[in-house]
Structure 1
Amino acid sequence: MTEQQLDEQYREAVAGLAPVIGETVDFVTAHPELAHQETETAAHLVGLLRGAGYTVTEGVAGMATAFRAELDLGAPGATVGVIAVYDAPASYDAEGHVAPVHSCGHGPQSAGVIGAALALAAVREQLTGRVVVVGCPADEIHSPLTRERGSGKALTAAAGVWDDVDVVLYPHPEFIDTVWPASLAMRRETARVVGVRTLRRDVVCTPLVALANVTALAGAVDPARLIIESVSVDGDVEEGAGMVFEASFLLFADDDEGLDALADTVHGIVGEAVWTSSAPIAPVRPDPEVIALVGDAFAAAGREFIADPPALGFATDFGNVTRVARAALVGVGRAEGWRYHTPTGAEEFAGAAGVENAVGIAEVIGLSAIRIGAATGL
């Protein structure tokens, strides 16, 4: 069988799975769950993978809603890993309450990954290599349990989940068809100031001094490199009673040295405090050989591949995965783009455009896996 015939057979398998892909988008959309709480969604995805013959291990990397599904293909070859994400952003509703809403494309993302996994299983005897699908909770960095426990891709990288995988692919709905070559480094800096409340103007209240300094910080640092994530001041109401200021800041830079320099600036402006730092999120590390294979897969899917996109202007914990395995951050685009983290975006991802994107992800990721599985020297 020629490569073109194999591609056609695989794409026919994806087309036949289009109803399942659409139903998966619908299920994920209808079951929005915050980071590390994705019990129903994870169980649904695991059920689909087991039904297609994958061997599934749940609770990997110490995360109850993470999983790893494996399938040997027809002949020995490279092992291809694919990441599925399925948490919903911690959005604020009209009353100001936190509510999970799928407004970041994780319905199409996970449905596309499952579609690729099921289509690869359907033509497995014609293929070489092994497929590993890892369900990674907690993609959304601002969700309460992401902040407390860490993000799924970074935790799987630290736990060795990718150590036996040759290449890892992480697709996501985007504006263009591409592989992103770079992203920013990130870490969270948290400040805590303990002082006393005062009802007098001639007494310094250190928590309120820190609060005022946050306002100065907002005007002194590029907002694209510093997000004031949360600020709170709390304490008893009597003169001399205890009072606490707490604030968290997301810092972005090109590398760890840039993060250290920005942290020094933030510390200096906010002032004296007890500071804690999260584990850093690494920048994405590109792999030209993997990019070329994915680019060829886009062409086989009849899509225009953008080989020289700009760097991402934000951070992703997939960068940590690229430090332990060869990898590609795959953008599957839509000319109209997406309104991420908005009610309009939620409607886009839940509708026909979202399902179409999921089918596109299934095609591109599966065609990429076919090429990587057959490649030598990876």
Structure 2
Amino acid sequence: MDLTQVKHEIETLAEKHRDEFEVVSAYIFAHPELAYHETLAQDQLCGLLEKHGFKVQRGAGSLETAFVAEYQSGKPGLTFAFMCEYDALPEIGHACGHNLIGTSGAGAAVILKEIMEKYGIGGTLKVLGTPAEENGSGKITMLDEGIFDGVDMALIMHPSDMSMADDISFAAVNKTYTFTGKPAHTAACPWMGASALNGVLQMFHAVDSQRLHFKDYTRVHGIIVEGGTVVNIVPERAVCRFNIRALDAEYLKDVISVIDRCAKGAAICAGVDVEIQQNGYLIKDVRNNRELVTAVEKNMDFIGEHHIPRDLTQGIGSTDVGNVTQALPAAQFYIGVGEGLGTHTAAFADAAGGEAGRRALTAAVKVLAMTGLDMMSGRS
């Protein structure tokens, strides 16, 4: 099998199916759904995959809007998975381009299945529908519940301003600190009270005092959620929330210990109690598989997709893809929709739903399918 010739066939198939894939992406874009409520997007992607001969399971583990689609060649080989995201953001819809992520993963699978059938490539091809990336980290739930078990490699594309074959992300966690004191009238008998708000304020000062000692690219930012109800009563309850990020999950745990220590010390200072709660999962940093990154880079070159190196000077976020990359060989790469555009903005949403997004969708389908071919054809 001449891989170069087969990749040209993938290009042809991507153009052949272009209108079909764009209709799915446009529908998802026009009907944005928040985490765990992505029923319409799930139906669109599952319908596309069923139409092209995949065995599809709607719902996976405890997640009703997840899905697993599978094509078994009947021959030994790699189990390769494309990951799909399809949840939207409040108010600004698909300003992170998940309409493109979901459709590109499903579209690449449709094309790669045709290639596998034509050339007798062995292995199993899967599409994993992973809901709630924006708020819930559905991939971590799916990892914990065994949905990724048996997958040898996994790949996903994310839109960005520029195309990049590699990724960097923060490990991250959200925590809530609830301080409980003793109420008292602030004019008549303030000495009888203990201010929970003072505990919160002391915590912020303590955290600021530690910033000098954090490694570079550590991010710690918080807000006060509750700080009392009336000014003439010593606040009995005060609540703050912190988002804590670091470049690797191991160091993140060290930073969390420092922030927790600040909370406990602040409570002692203020003479109040503090309850510490983690909100959701600890999201790990992305550690892309180098074989996949190399293949993605070569396939970007093959289709003429201009790309730049990924580095720390660019905007860095957090994603549950990181947990997947630390559980099995996996990678995330980027296809650009417009230089200078930042995700989670109205301008990025316009690009994801417009001509730039349609261009990126076709490019992503090609690179995903070609990279899947590279991996599966070498292990048949």
TM-score w.r.t. length of structure 2: 0.85
Distance 2:26 2:203 in 1: 42
Distance 2:160 2:233 in 1: 54
2:126 is the alignment partner of 1:132: yes
Paired position in structure 2 for 1:152: 138
How far apart are residue 334 of structure 1 and its match? 4.1
Note the alpha carbon deviations across 1:57-84, whole angstroms, 9 max, x for none: 1221310100010113485431211111
Paired position in structure 1 for 2:181: 195
- Alignment equivalent of 1:362, drawn from 353, 360, 365: 365
Contact 1:235 1:243 in 2 (8 A): no
- Larger deviation, residues 368-377 vs 38-47: 368-377
Contact 1:86 1:137 in 2 (8 A): yes
Q: Secondary structure at the match of 2:361?
A: helix
2:289 is the alignment partner of 1:287: yes
- Unmatched 5+ residue regions in structure 1? 91-98
Note the alpha carbon deviations across 1:162-219, whole angstroms, 9 max, x for none: 2211111021012343333543221222111223444406344432213434653675
Note the alpha carbon deviations across 1:249-288, whole angstroms, 9 max, x for none: 1111133442233223323444221112243222222322
Q: Secondary structure at the match of 2:240?
A: strand
How far apart are residue 353 of structure 1 and its match? 0.8
Distance 2:257 2:364 in 1: 41
Contact 1:207 1:245 in 2 (8 A): yes
Contact 1:183 1:313 in 2 (8 A): yes
Paired position in structure 2 for 1:338: 341
Instruction: Name the amino acid aligned to 1:248.
Output: R
Alignment of 1:224-239 (within 5 A): 225-228=219-222, 231-233=225-227, 239=233
Distance 1:75 1:305 in 2: 36
Contact 2:87 2:98 in 1 (8 A): yes
| TM superposition outliers: structure 1 runs of 4+ over 6 Å | none
Alignment of 1:244-259 (within 5 A): 244-259=237-252
- Larger deviation, residues 78-87 vs 368-377: 368-377
Distance 1:262 1:169 in 2: 30
- Larger deviation, residues 308-317 vs 26-35: 308-317
Paired position in structure 2 for 1:2: 2
- Alignment equivalent of 2:257, drawn from 264, 278, 284: 264
Distance 1:17 1:178 in 2: 24
Aligned-residue RMSD, C-alpha:
2.7
Contact 2:155 2:330 in 1 (8 A): yes
How far apart are residue 46 of structure 1 and its match? 0.9
Contact 2:161 2:342 in 1 (8 A): no
Contact 1:189 1:263 in 2 (8 A): no
Instruction: Name the amino acid aligned to 2:376.
Output: G
Contact 2:77 2:124 in 1 (8 A): yes
How far apart are residue 119 of structure 1 and its match? 1.9
Contact 1:338 1:345 in 2 (8 A): yes
TM-score w.r.t. length of structure 1: 0.85
- Unmatched 5+ residue regions in structure 2? 268-273
Distance 2:166 2:223 in 1: 26
Contact 2:224 2:240 in 1 (8 A): yes
Q: Residues 63 and 197 from structure 1, CA distance in 2 versus in 1: closer, same or farther, beyond 3 angstroms? A: same
Q: Secondary structure at the match of 1:303?
A: coil
Q: Residues 181 and 110 from structure 1, CA distance in 2 versus in 1: closer, same or farther, beyond 3 angstroms? A: closer
Paired position in structure 2 for 1:105: 97
Q: Which has the larger radius of gyration?
A: 2
Paired position in structure 2 for 1:114: 106
- Larger deviation, residues 230-239 vs 23-32: 230-239
Distance 1:100 1:244 in 2: 33
Number of aligned positions between the proteins: 359
